[in-house]
Amino acid sequence: MASDGLLKKGDMSGALEKLEKVITANPMDTETLKKMAEIFDSKNLISHAIQNLEEAKAINPKDTSVLKKLGEIYLKKEDYLNAKSNYESAL
């Protein structure tokens, strides 16, 4: 994926732009939503990361990688109830 090359170069804005085009063409692409969430998380844009992961969770509620990452991000946000809920769902 073109965004991977941009990420390796440290061009997070360029990678996000490419990923947004992918998600516009295929809104059910959970892998793209997860990549976008990782970028937002690395930029400390927690609410955007949560939004992308919640969308991915709505598409595939049994994706343990999404649930674990949501737990991690909610923990960063000090939203312990949602963190616990997502971590437990991942088990």
Average pLDDT over the chain reads: 90
Averaged pLDDT for residues 41-51? 95
Task: Lowest mean pLDDT of 6-10, 43-47, 73-77, name the range.
Answer: 6-10
55-78 average pLDDT score: 96
CB 86 within 8 A of CB 74: yes
- What would the mean pLDDT of 13-37 be, rounded to a whole number? 92
- pTM value is 0.86
Q: Are 67 and 91 in contact (CB under 8 A)?
A: no
